[in-house]
């Protein structure tokens, strides 16, 4: 399955990531600029902020309380479809998911 990461400047990059891998690790493994993942996925840094494309946002489980709280501390303003990419785990239904990298992470 693949993910389409779109940078704030409009540049798009499509990368294959394995089922079960989260979208933060998928990004850092492929050198996607702008997703830092400083805490390694422990939901304590909020430097993996992405905005999910409308078509896929509804397919995701809602953020849990911790993610929801961390989303209030992102460097770029929170948007309706903002999520922490370390909490989005690739599955068959998410094949082709499109996410926009937040304008800044720090
Ligand atoms: Fe730190 Fe996602 S990697 S909150």
pLDDT of residue 90: 98
Mutate to test the pocket of ligand 1, among 32, 35, 43 (most ligand atoms within 8 A of CB): 43
* 23 Cβ inside 6 Å of ligand 1: no
- Distance (Å, whole) CA 17 – CA 80: 25
* 39 Cβ inside 6 Å of ligand 1: yes
Question: Does the ipTM surpass 0.85?
Answer: yes
DSSP secondary structure, 43-65, as one string? SSS--SEEEE-HHHHTTSPPP-H
- Distance (Å, whole) CA 23 – CA 2: 10
CATH architecture entry for 2-101 = Roll (3.10)
pLDDT of residue 73: 96
The residues of the chain scoring below 70 in pLDDT are: none
How far does residue 41's CA lie from ligand 1's centre (Å)?
Answer: 4
| pTM of this structure | 0.97
- Distance (Å, whole) CA 75 – CA 57: 21
């Amino acid at each position: 399955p693949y993910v389409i990461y779109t940078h704030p400047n409009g540049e798009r990059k499509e990368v294959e990531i394995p089922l079960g891998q989260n979208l933060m690790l998928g990004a850092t493994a492929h050198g996607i600029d702008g997703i830092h993942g400083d805490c390694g996925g422990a939901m304590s840094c909020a430097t993996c902020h992405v905005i999910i494309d409308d078509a896929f946002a509804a397919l995701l489980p809602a953020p849990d309380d911790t993610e929801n709280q961390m989303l209030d501390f992102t460097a770029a303003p929170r948007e309706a479809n903002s999520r922490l990419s370390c909490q989005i785990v690739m599955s068959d239904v998410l094949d082709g998911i499109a996410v926009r990298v937040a304008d800044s992470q720090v």
